[in-house]
């Protein structure tokens, strides 16, 4: 797990590379290649996890000097891939980096689809000047780039900061800001910078230095959602699920350093921890964050019970509102992209705690999207059972009933929307288009096309039920640039590698091949997941009420609104030049009156701090 930085025709030096030193404090490397009049720079910061020797050093150049690779991530099936390489190779070590290099040389770059793991990488064919940038199937690892076709330059990196350092004249992308306010995150390829983009999950870009860089090619290596498998015996399906789950966790234990677990009070991280401990020859350390005071969001007690049952060494930390305020600005800088997800704050303290004990952790992230763990999925099932005429009547009637429940409000506003993508967006949105226009004087015109892109790539029209289509898109969009984005940035800020075994490529393929009724129904989600959990965990852990990993910001923002106003309503800020402060004030007032607007306010705080050092004009 590392940081990569590279360019075409833009010099990179050690000081710029050190902007991502936190991602890889153990080693660094920088190589320069020339093709015709072009110069290609490959830079790398290494966090040594697998093959701690110099044999894992990057940039890694093939023995014949014809290919080079810089790689961030872990490939969990690399030993299997190495066995498939028939060419005689004099391997220098046992790192997955070396396997990837020679596997892509042997089978061509389209073989990137065979990699089961988390990665952002650059692969360069030195002799013919072809450069490839790729991001893993679910976008666990970020990869940003800035292409300047007029000057024939390209800059790419694991994080935005080196790109911004080298190109300080980026303008604010107002259409992307509209989409951010709608979806609560910026989906690839967009960022809030006009000239900086993200590689989409499950995609690669190809640049040919014999041509103009503007003619780069984008290729999706994502596969369409598989056809459904029919299981005549439900127990057989549960057993098969268990095999895939255990194999996923077991192969992600590969490491030459100890591994820990980020442990919540819920079922997902408990299942990961159970299997991880089963296949480990040492007592695993588990880490939990909670909150001072009495809050439903606090999971320390439940996590401690899980840790005791599994025999884990449990460490925890409690935080309060003063802790929240002290790191909010810092977290915004670390994550680089504003989000509406309040759990990034406890993740900061959790990562700090874990990094004092281990270099690698596993997490239970990634179960809710493919397995139907969110309320919105059950709402979509209900939608399909209510006739359209009844939906229009019920929706029209209920929408006029005031409610302070944000989830209920979003569910009601989607009733009667026949267009599937528009309905999905209505379910996701935290600001409506009208509210966005009132805030920044422009509407969101990107979000629908972003969903439509993945709808087409995944061939969602062939998927039987709308809720399965929603889950398939969410697993490639919402996860990548929201939860996984802040998890990567914050953990790597502490030189901590975070693995997500539930997003194992083979496991997800199996889950998405299951009939919908094996995954969720009107009553609950994660059906096959919980059924398998019975072989790992006691009933009291499996049946615990679901607690989302988040901060008690609903309470904090209601009772500390004076502080919020002092920040967000500052007339001298860059934020005030873009946002209608009267509307922002109204939003805070609704929070004071008991309406849950924590996500909206948290997102605006993130945007405020993002804009604080944004020395550009509003475009």
- Token representation of residue 552: 């008690």
CB-CB contact of 312 with 263 (8 Å)? yes
Question: Domain check: are 428 and 504 in the same one?
Answer: no
Q: How confident is the model at residue 111 (pLDDT cuts 50, 70, 90)?
A: very high
Task: Report the alpha-carbon distance of residue 272 to residue 250 in Å, rounded.
Answer: 10
Q: What is the mean pLDDT of residues 528-535?
A: 97
pLDDT value at residue 409: 60
114 and 31, same domain (yes or no): yes
Give yes or no: 498 in active site. Answer: no
The percentage of residues in the chain with a pLDDT greater than 70, rounded to a whole number, is: 93
Average pLDDT score over the chain: 92
Q: Give the tens place of pLDDT for each residue, 49-59.
A: 877 788 889 99
- Residues 329 and 454 occupy one common structural domain: no
Category of 544 on φ-ψ map: left (φ > 0), alpha (ψ -120 to 50) or beta: beta
Query: Whole domain around residue 142: which residue ranges?
Result: 2-220
pLDDT at position 211 over 70 = yes
Q: Given pLDDT bands bounded at 50, 70 and 90, which one contains residue 559?
A: confident
144-179 confidence digits (pLDDT tens): 999 999 999 999 999 999 999 887 667 899 999 999
**pLDDT given for residue 618 in this prediction:** 44
Query: pLDDT digit string (tens) for 497-509?
Result: 999 999 999 999 9
What's the confidence (pLDDT) of residue 560?
87
Phi, psi of 227 (to 5 degrees): -65, 155
Q: How far is 302 from 361, CA to CA, in rounded Å?
A: 19
User: Do residues 91 and 150 both lie within one domain?
Assistant: yes
Q: Does residue 28 form part of some domain?
A: yes
| Residues 384, 266 share a domain | no
pLDDT at 401: 59
Residues 125 and 33 in one domain: yes
Q: Is residue 577 part of a domain?
A: yes
Compute CA distances 262 → 287, 363, 395, 507, 535, whole Å.
5, 5, 41, 20, 21
The answer for 293, left when phi > 0, alpha when psi is -120 to 50, beta otherwise, is left
Residues 404-440: tens digit of each pLDDT: 556 556 566 666 688 999 999 999 999 999 999 999 9
Percent of all residues in the chain with a pLDDT value above 90, rounded to a whole number? 79
Provide the Cα torsion 381, 507, 451, 197; round to 10°: 150
Residue 208 DSSP class:
E
Q: Which of 166, 196, 220 is the last residue of a domain?
A: 220
Give the pairing of strands 285-291 and 259-262. parallel
Q: Taking Cα atoms as reference points, which of 219, 215, 218, 217 lies closest to residue 149?
A: 215
Task: Show which of 520, 542, 564 is a domain's final residue.
Answer: 542
The annotation status of 325 as a binding-site residue, yes or no, is no
Choose the final residue of a domain: 476, 499, 529: 476
- Give the start-end residues of each E strand in 453-541: 497-499
**pLDDT digit string, tens, across residues 54-92:** 888 999 999 999 999 999 999 999 999 999 999 999 999
Q: Which CATH number do you get for residue 309?
A: 3.40.50.620
Q: Are 182 and 202 in a shared domain?
A: yes
Residue 400: band (very low, low, confident or very high) from pLDDT cuts 50, 70, 90: low
pLDDT for 382? 86
> How does pLDDT run across 243-280, given as a tens digit for each residue?
999 999 999 999 889 999 999 999 999 999 999 999 99
Residues 33 and 101 in one domain: yes
Q: Confirm whether 225 is domain-assigned.
A: no
Q: Which of 307, 337, 331 is nearest to 189 (CA)?
A: 337
| Cα–Cα distance for residue pair 297/275, rounded to 1 Å | 26
CATH number for the domain including 66?
3.60.20.10
Question: Residues 297-338: pLDDT tens digits?
Answer: 789 999 999 999 999 999 999 998 888 888 999 999 999 999
pLDDT of residue 619: 42
- On whether residue 547 sits in a domain, the answer given is no
- From the list 549, 593, 555, 585, the residue with the least C-alpha distance to 404 is 593
Q: Same structural domain for residues 488 and 377?
A: no
Considering the domain boundaries, does residue 131 fall inside one?
yes
Count of the separate structural domains present in the chain: 4
Closest Cα partner for 351 from 315, 320, 322, 325? 315
Mean pLDDT, residues 226-254: 90
Of residues 216 and 159, the one with the higher pLDDT is 159
- Does 188 lie in the same domain as 128? yes
Quote the pLDDT of residue 397. Answer: 55
Q: Mean per-residue pLDDT for 120-129?
A: 97
CB-CB contact of 335 with 486 (8 Å) = yes
395 has a pLDDT exceeding 60: no
96 marked among binding-site residues: yes
Residues near 97 by beta carbon (within 8 Å), at least 6 away in sequence: 56, 58, 60, 69, 71
Tens digit of each residue's pLDDT (9 = 90 or more) over 428-478: 999 999 999 999 999 999 999 999 999 999 999 999 899 999 999 999 999
Q: What is the pLDDT of residue 405?
A: 59
Instruction: Please compute the mean of the pLDDT values over residues 571-594 and round it to a whole number.
Output: 96
Query: In the predicted model, what is the mean pLDDT of residues 208-224?
Result: 91
Distance CA 588, CA 561 (A): 7
In the structure, what pLDDT confidence band is assigned to residue 389 with cuts at 50, 70 and 90?
low
289 is in an annotated binding site: yes
Tell whether 489 and 571 lie within a shared domain. Answer: no
What does the pLDDT read at residue 388? 63
**pLDDT in the model for residue 48:** 86
Residue 409 within any structural domain of the chain: yes
Same domain, 456 and 537: no
């Amino acid at each position: 797990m590392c940081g990569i930085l590279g360019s075409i025709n833009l010099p990179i030096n050690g000081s710029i590379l050190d902007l991502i030193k936190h991602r890889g404090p153990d080693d660094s490397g920088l190589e320069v290649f020339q093709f015709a009049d072009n110069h290609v720079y490959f830079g790398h910061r290494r966090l040594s996890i697998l093959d701690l020797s110099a044999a894992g050093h990057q940039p890694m150049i093939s023995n014949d000097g014809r290919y080079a690779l810089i790689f961030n991530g872990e490939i969990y099936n690399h030993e299997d891939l190495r066995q498939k390489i028939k060419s005689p190779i004099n391997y220098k070590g046992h790192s997955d980096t070396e396997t990837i290099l020679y596997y892509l040389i042997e089978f061509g770059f389209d073989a990137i689809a065979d990699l089961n793991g988390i990665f952002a990488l650059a692969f360069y064919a030195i002799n013919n000047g072809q450069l490839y940038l790729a991001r893993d199937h679910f976008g666990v690892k970020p990869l940003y780039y800035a292409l300047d076709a007029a000057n024939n330059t390209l800059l790419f990196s694991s994080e935005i900061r080196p790109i911004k350092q080298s190109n300080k004249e980026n303008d604010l992308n107002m259409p992307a800001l509209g989409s951010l306010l709608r979806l609560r995150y910026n989906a690839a390829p967009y960022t809030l910078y006009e000239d900086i983009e993200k590689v989409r999950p499950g995609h690669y870009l190809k640049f040919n230095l014999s041509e103009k860089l503007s003619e780069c090619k984008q290729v999706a290596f994502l596969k369409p959602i598989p056809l459904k498998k029919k299981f005549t015996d439900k127990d057989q399906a549960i057993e098969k699920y268990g095999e895939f789950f255990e194999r996923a966790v077991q192969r992600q234990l590969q490491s030459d350093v100890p591994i820990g677990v980020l442990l919540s009070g819920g079922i997902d991280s408990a299942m990961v921890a159970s299997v991880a401990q089963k296949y480990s020859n040492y007592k695993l350390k588990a880490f939990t964050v909670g909150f001072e005071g009495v809050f439903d969001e606090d999971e320390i007690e439940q996590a401690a019970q899980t840790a005791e049952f599994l025999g884990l060494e449990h460490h925890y930390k409690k935080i309060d509102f003063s802790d929240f305020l002290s790191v909010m600005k810092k977290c915004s800088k670390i994550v680089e992209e504003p989000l509406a997800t309040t759990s990034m704050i406890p993740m900061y303290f959790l990562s700090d705690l874990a990094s004092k004990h281990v270099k690698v952790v596993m997490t239970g992230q990634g179960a809710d999207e493919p397995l139907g763990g969110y309320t919105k999925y059950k709402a979509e099932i209900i939608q399909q059972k209510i006739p359209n005429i009844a939906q229009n009547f019920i929706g029209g009637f209920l929408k006029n009933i005031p409610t302070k429940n944000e989830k209920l409000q979003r569910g009601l506003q989607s009733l009667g929307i026949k267009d599937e993508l528009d309905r999905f967006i209505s379910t996701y949105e935290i600001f409506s288009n009208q509210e966005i226009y009132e805030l920044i004087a422009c509407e969101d015109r990107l979000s629908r096309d972003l969903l439509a892109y993945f709808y087409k790539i995944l061939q969602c029209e062939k998927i039987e039920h709308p809720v399965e289509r929603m889950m398939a898109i969410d697993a490639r969009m919402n996860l990548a640039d929201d939860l996984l984005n802040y998890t990567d940035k914050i953990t790597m800020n502490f030189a901590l590698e975070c693995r997500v075994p539930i997003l194992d490529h083979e496991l997800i393929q199996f889950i998405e091949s299951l009939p919908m009724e094996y995954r969720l129904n009107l009553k609950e989600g994660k059906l096959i997941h919980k059924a398998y959990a019975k072989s790992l965990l006691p009933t009291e852990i499996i049946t615990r009420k679901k607690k989302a990993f988040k901060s008690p910001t609903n309470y904090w923002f209601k009772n500390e609104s004076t502080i919020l106003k002092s920040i967000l309503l500052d007339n001298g800020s860059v934020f005030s030049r873009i946002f209608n402060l009267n509307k922002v004030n109204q939003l805070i007032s609704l929070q004071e009156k008991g309406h849950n607007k924590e996500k909206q306010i948290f997102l605006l705080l993130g945007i405020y701090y993002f804009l604080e050092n944004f020395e550009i004009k509003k475009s």
